[in-house]
Amino acid sequence: MIKTVLFDMDGVLYDSMPVHVWAWSEVSEKYRLNYTPEDFYLLEGRTGDTTLDVLFQRTFQRNATEKEKKDIYQEKVCLFNQANTGRVMPGAKNVLERVKAYDLEALIVTGSGQHSLIDKLNQDFPGSFRREKMVTGFDVQYGKPDPEPYLMGLEKAGVQASEAVVIENAPLGVRSAVAAGIFTVAVNTGPLPDKVLWDEGAGLLFPSMIVLAQNFAGVLNR
C-alpha cells in the first residue's frame, strides 16, 4: 500500500527548467565550458558541484576545483534568481490535492540548492510539505543519480520503498529513484524524448502533471 509520494521539485512542481538551462548556459559560455542546452536536461538532478565536474571533465579533462565550483555555482544561482518567474508547473497543485485526498504524505527530494525555490514551497503548496522532511542539495553527499537522496527521503518518511512512489521529470532522477527500489512515475515536462525516461526504468510516464493528476488513482492501484 502506498503511504508516501516523493516529489522532485524542478520540472515537476515548478516550471523552472528553462531558467536553469539558461543560467547554466550563461556561465558555461563565460567559463568556456563545452555544452549544449540539451545537456542540462540530461544532467538535471545532479548537484551544482557534480554538474560542474561533468562539464570540466569534458572540457579540460579534470574536475572543477572547490573554488571554481563555489564561484561558478554562485554565479549560476544568482542568474537563476534574477530570471526566475517562480511559475508553478501546471497541474502540480491538482496532483497535491490528489495526494491529500488519498491521505498520503508528500516529501520533496531535490538536488537543488536554491533557497529561493525551497522557501517558496510553503507559499505555493501550503501545508503540503514539511521543511524537516525535505531532502535538498544541502543534505546529500552524492546526490542523484546515486540512490542516496531517495533513500534519505524514505528514511525521513519512515516508509519502505514498496510503500512509496516517486514523481520525476529527469532521466538521472528516475535512475536515482529506481536504484533506491521505488516505483517511479515519469512526467515528461521537458524537450527530451520519452525513451530516455523509459530507458532509466520509469514504471509509468505521463506528458504533464495535469494528466498525472487525472490518472492519479490508476498510479496508486497499478
The contact set with Mg ion (CB under 5 A) reads: 8, 10-11, 169-170
Shortest distance (Å) from residue 184 CB to Mg ion: 12
- Separation of alpha carbons 124 and 114, rounded Å: 16
Q: Which is nearer to Mg ion, 151 or 172 (CB)?
A: 172
Shortest distance (Å) from residue 169 CB to Mg ion: 4
Shortest distance (Å) from residue 144 CB to Mg ion: 9
Shortest distance (Å) from residue 168 CB to Mg ion: 6
- Separation of alpha carbons 122 and 127, rounded Å: 7
- Separation of alpha carbons 133 and 131, rounded Å: 5
Cβ-closest residue to Mg ion?
A: 11
One-letter amino acid at 68 equals E
Q: Which is nearer to Mg ion, 11 or 147 (CB)?
A: 11
Closest by CA to 40, choosing from 59, 53, 23, is 23
Q: Which is nearer to Mg ion, 37 or 158 (CB)?
A: 37
Q: Which is nearer to Mg ion, 31 or 143 (CB)?
A: 143
Q: In what order do the strands lie in the sheet with 183-187?
A: 105-108, 4-7, 164-168, 183-187, 204-206
